[in-house]
Amino acid sequence: MTLKNLATPKNIIGIIAIIAFVVIVPQVVQGFAMTIINVALLFAIISYGVSIMLGMGGQLSFAAVTFMGFGAYFIANMSTGRLGFVIPTFLALLLTPIVFAGVAFLIGLVLLKLKGTYFTFSTIALVQVAFTYFNNFQPLFGGPDGISGIPTLTIGSYSFGNDLTAWFYLICVFVIIGGIIVERIRRSQLGRSLASIRDNETAALTLGVNTYLTKVIAFSIAGAFAAFAGALWVMHGRFVGAEMFNFLNATQFIIMAMIGGVNSTVGIVIGALLVRGLPEFFRGFQGYMNLFWGVSIILLMVFMPTGLAGIKDVIVDKFRQFRVKSRKGDDDDATNTKA
């Protein structure tokens, strides 16, 4: 791809928006609010996995939260010396997506023998079983007390410590890399195979798509995203407890993706910022938040099934219609309106 191809107006606006976000946010946000934004962006990485499974492949999986937990507990065990050895945090971070892509592949091989709603229910079972282990199995997961004193991320001699702005930059890098990977998957054969499964599994089979393997690979990639974000999350927060990985939190990532637009990478990041950010602005109404999200999802599904990202399409469509109309007015003989 040449530079000329990249320099479309759409791309330039997008790149300017991303740079503006990365530059401006640390200037105006500090302290606790920064923590919220960092965690929201980490959750956006997890929702990328939802986008691949649900948006591209039409498979609803709640397992993201469990793989986030796997990643978090993996780092907790590797870097605190609980198991009698310590590996450097950076190395552990790099290992996480590889290890849990493999784990997710094996779990996916089993769960994806089921189809549709049955598969979804099996992921709920996975979340519950994993939560029970996280909450009770002392040797690996620290039981109900969780695991504290987790070291921060250190790359070479640089330690991220509690420098929230440094974390913000680092997380932004991974959000962007993750977004690029998702977009690349969307236009690769894997993305097309997933889309064909979503729209018609029988037709996909007759076009040579190994539907089972394709879904397992998507599940594995989603697992790697979630575990990687979980690893960053635990090094950012320095503590892991089972409470984070219950079923209620599992729904959170689906909500983020659906509000932002399950097929829009940028939309997912916005959705994650909204879902994590809004409750903090309306602290007094925290008891009503779940009600709010529930109603939001229903309204979105009815009026805007493509999420907030769909607003853009609606506006572009309206603009196009307007242009076509005005052009028709100019030239009544125009039979071919190529708007």
Partner 1 sequence: MQPILRLEGVNKSFGGVTAAKDVSFSVPPGEVQGLIGPNGAGKSTLMNIISGIYTPDSGKVFLEEKDITKVAAYTRARMGIGRTFQTPRFMQRSSIRDNLLLGTDLADQIGYLKGFFGKKGKPFDEELEELMEVAKFTFRWTDKIDSLPFGQRKLLEIVRSMLGHPKVMLVDEPAAGLNHKEIEHAMDLLNMAAKQRGIGVLLIEHSMDMIMDMCSNIVVINFGEVIGQGSPEEVSSNKAVIDAYLGGDLDD
The verdict on 187 binding partner 1 (CB under 8 A) reads yes
What are the backbone dihedrals phi and psi of residue 237, each rounded to the nearest 5 degrees, phi first? Answer: -95, -20
Q: Does 199 bind partner 1 (CB under 8 A)?
A: yes
Q: Decide whether 136 or 318 has the Cβ nearer to partner 1.
A: 318
Contact 65, 249 (CB under 8 A): yes
Does position 202 interact with partner 1 (CB under 8 A)? The reply is: yes
> What's the min distance (Å) between Cβ of 204 and partner 1?
8
Cα distance between residue 75 and residue 144, in whole Å:
18
Contact range with partner 1 by CB under 8 A, out of 59-67, 171-179, 210-218, 242-250 = 210-218
Query: Using the rule CB under 8 A, is 8 a contact of partner 1?
Result: no
**Would you count residue 258 as binding partner 1 (CB under 8 A)?**
no
CA distance 57 to 211: 10
For partner 1, the closer CB: 243 or 313:
313
Measured from the CB atom, the residue of 82 and 198 that comes closer to partner 1 is 198
| Min CB(37)–partner 1 separation in Å | 30
Antiparallel, parallel or unpaired: β 147-148 and 154-155? unpaired
169-178, long-range: CB within 8 Å, 24+ apart, which pairs? Answer: 169/22, 169/26, 170/232, 171/38, 171/41, 171/42, 171/232, 171/236, 172/21, 172/22, 172/41, 174/45, 174/228, 174/229, 174/232, 175/41, 175/44, 175/45, 175/269, 176/18, 178/44, 178/45, 178/48, 178/225
Provide, rounded to whole angstroms, the least separation between the CB of residue 205 and partner 1: 4
Draw the binding track, 211-250, toward partner 1 (x: CB under 8 A; -: no contact).
Answer: x--x--x---------------------------------
Which residues contribute to the site for partner 1 (CB under 8 A)?
Answer: 1, 184-185, 187-193, 195-196, 198-200, 202-211, 214, 217, 263
